[in-house]
Structure 1
Amino acid sequence: MATALADEIDVLAKAKRAIGGDYAPSEDEPYMSEAQQDYFRRLLGEWKKSILNSAADTLQQLQEGPIREPDLNDRASSETDWGIELRTRDRQRKLIAKIDSALRRIEEGEYGYCEVTGEPIGIGRLIARPVATMTVEAQQAHERREKISRDD
């Protein structure tokens, strides 16, 4: 799980570098200004493109043929690696749905605002997690409720 999250962070960091430019959203400008919306639109688009390119590479490797390791231990290790890779791709497929949802929210003028409270999520949180839909406080409350219902 930690590796999948690290991969996700790496892909997001790559997307941030790809959009480059001198502009970075800040707390000093009007919240969800046109410049900020454009920044997040480009960031989300680049993040999605990176994920799709990575998935295409995985698909290409899978199509090159089955695992043909002569040693059973090597074969088992290779199959485990592919299983992890496929789970990572499934996680990224779900992330693409979140990215698409965030892009839709930008177009509808809802991006950057908590879906629970309606309060601004905050530039820092959006830079760290561009697909965030809740403020930190609302997310923590949600996770506490989720944990309590799981424990019951």
Structure 2
Amino acid sequence: MDSRPPVPPFTPAGAALKVRLAEDGWNSRDPARVAQAYTPDSRWRNRNEFVQGRQAIEDFLTRKWQHEREYRLIKELWAHDERRIAVRFAYEWQDAEGRWFRSYGNENWLFDGQGLMQLRYASINDLAIDEGERHFHWPLGRRPDTHPGLSALGL
């Protein structure tokens, strides 16, 4: 059986670690790696798109990161209980025409007993920004531990 620690029931420290591990996975921009954090039949609502299953998640993320170039994400724990975590997030990206965007949103997650995500509901809004308004300036990949989070950036 797949297991993805930390597993429920979540403590404050375990929930915060789960959020950081999710952020790290998404910043890898590796659809196959990210999809492994979800149950085989995981269900998503992402904006206006409904996705179910690991292969559909992998396909979705492949399309997403082909469109959203220079993707850098920060997630922050908002709340949690034993099996649920709520996060807020922001990410910056560039489209094929070179325009920059910051996307803001909230996600609600539900986990199985092995720490795999069963449900993910994401609400996201996009804001066009000038390149000079960017805040996320680390090399592609994992956000450095020294880079400020959303609250420290005033986002």
TM-score, normalization by structure 1: 0.27
TM-score, normalization by structure 2: 0.26
Considering fraction of residues, name the structure with more strand: 2
Highest CA radius of gyration, 1 or 2?
1
Per chain length, whose mean CA-contact separation is higher, i.e. which structure has more relative contact order (CA < 8 Å, sep 6+)?
Answer: 2
